[in-house]
Amino acid sequence: MMRRSSITEKLHLLFLFLISFAAARAAAFSSHGLTDAEAGFIRRRQLLYYVDEYGDRGERAWKQTILSDPHNFTGSWVGPNVCSYHGVFCAQLPCNRSLTVVAGIDLNHADIAGYLPEELGLLTDLALFHVNSNRFCGTVPQKLRQLTRLFEIDLSNNRFAGKFPRVLLELPSLKFLDIRFNEFEGGVPRELFDKPLDAIFINHNRLAFDIPDNIGNSPVSVIVLANNRFRGCLPASLGNMSNTLNEIILMDNGLRSCLPPEIGLLRKLTVFDISFNQLLGPLPEEIGRMVSLEQLDVAHNLLSGRIPESICHLPHLQNFTFSYNFFTGEPPSCLKVQSFDDRRNCLPERPLQRSVKQCESFLWHPVDCSWFRCPLPPVVGVSYASPPPPPLH
């Protein structure tokens, strides 16, 4: 479902990115006696020529922190010419083409064990940093905040732990943030959603928080929060992401609220996955306005009522999965969706439904969505509208 461009495309983007910075650098000329070009030249010398004298810098320092490299990925990391190191990409500075800087690092799928040293902060021209599918552990270095040109960071599928790496929120150029499949824990700062990012992947960690209402401020096209320990409700402010949001995956997060009708505003959304939560009440009729929707997965929740016919008429809908809920009505058009799954509901005359007893006991307590809106009302003595827990058998 998630599109990942090849490294060539990324480097192309990187090139465009560097171009866009040429003007800014030219404007910053001679502020501290040194031109930016001169400063860049010094950095380059430190990295490329003086590495052996300093001994403990940049990639070299990194090599010393690598504990295991089963595929000999860093075997070529010797000598002063870091630009020839496997996985290290250099580029010319657009403002001075005779200056070459380390612009990208790509160690994806190298299965390397180790940690990231603070010295990575010396690579101040880095635009791309990809280390997905390795065994890096520890925390994310604080000095990465010096990487003011970094626009893509992929730390996914490693063993990083500790609190959400706030240092990433200080990177002014960052567009693509991917920390999925790690062991980050605790809360997620609200500021994440105020940053001008294009993609947020924080799924499969141990993060726990209520999705804040400022999520609607995020201009991302893709956001994956799945498989964490989020709680609470689905904020109505999601509707404010209508100009940019393409995919949102919120599965398996412990969300417990009704669905806000504002989600119908997401006219560019192609993938909407809220499965494996405890979402309640009906599917809002407004979902029928999400005209780009291709994949809709609401399975394994506590949803009920009749499926709105407008949903099954959505022009691009390919896969509508709504099994393991308590729906009681399904328009015939839903049986014509290319791929659908309606098992384990309370649909009369459909195969593989829940037992009459399960349906009756659940539907005995109608859900009052005014009690399951965002923000959730404070818990009071009696719970008026709470349905019973889902039957276990």
Query: Which residues would be at the binding site for ligand NAG (CB under 6 A)?
Result: 35, 37, 41, 72, 75-76, 96, 98-99, 216, 236-237, 239-240, 262, 297, 319, 321, 339
Q: Cβ 216 to ligand NAG, closest distance in Å?
A: 5
Phi-psi category of 193—alpha, beta or left, where left has phi over 0 and alpha has psi -120 to 50?
alpha
Query: Which residue number, 153 or 223, has a Cβ lying nearer to ligand NAG?
Result: 223
Peptide bond into 196 cis (omega under 30): no
Beta strand extents in 59-175 (DSSP E only): 66-68, 88-93, 96-106, 113-115, 128-130, 135-138, 152-154, 159-163
Place of tokens 């380059």: 44
Q: What is the rounded CA–CA span in Å between residue 155 and residue 178?
A: 6
First-to-final CA distance of the chain = 33
319 phi and psi angles, rounded to 5 deg:
-145, 115
Q: Cβ 360 to ligand NAG, closest distance in Å?
A: 28
**What strand order describes the sheet that includes 339-341?**
88-93, 96-106, 128-130, 152-154, 176-178, 199-201, 222-224, 247-249, 271-273, 295-297, 319-321, 339-341
Query: Which residue number, 75 or 162, has a Cβ lying nearer to ligand NAG?
Result: 75
Query: Which residue number, 35 or 124, has a Cβ lying nearer to ligand NAG?
Result: 35
Q: Cβ 339 to ligand NAG, closest distance in Å?
A: 4
Token duo for residue 334: 């839903």
- Residue of minimal CB distance from ligand NAG? 75
Query: Which residue number, 237 or 257, has a Cβ lying nearer to ligand NAG?
Result: 237
Query: Which residue number, 150 or 255, has a Cβ lying nearer to ligand NAG?
Result: 255
Q: Cβ 139 to ligand NAG, closest distance in Å?
A: 29
Q: What is the rounded CA–CA span in Å between residue 100 and residue 80?
A: 14
Place of tokens 């791309």: 128
C-beta neighbour count of 267 within 10 angstroms: 13
Q: Cβ 227 to ligand NAG, closest distance in Å?
A: 14
Q: What is the rounded CA–CA span in Å between residue 34 and residue 277?
A: 56
Query: Which residue number, 184 or 340, has a Cβ lying nearer to ligand NAG?
Result: 340
Q: What is the rounded CA–CA span in Å between residue 191 and residue 89?
A: 31
Q: What is the rounded CA–CA span in Å between residue 10 and residue 83?
A: 17
Q: Cβ 92 to ligand NAG, closest distance in Å?
A: 10
Query: Which residue number, 84 or 383, has a Cβ lying nearer to ligand NAG?
Result: 84
Query: Which residue number, 12 or 45, has a Cβ lying nearer to ligand NAG?
Result: 45
Q: Cβ 86 to ligand NAG, closest distance in Å?
A: 8
Q: What is the rounded CA–CA span in Å between residue 286 and residue 337?
A: 18
Query: Which residue number, 182 or 253, has a Cβ lying nearer to ligand NAG?
Result: 253
Q: Cβ 211 to ligand NAG, closest distance in Å?
A: 13
Q: Cβ 112 to ligand NAG, closest distance in Å?
A: 13
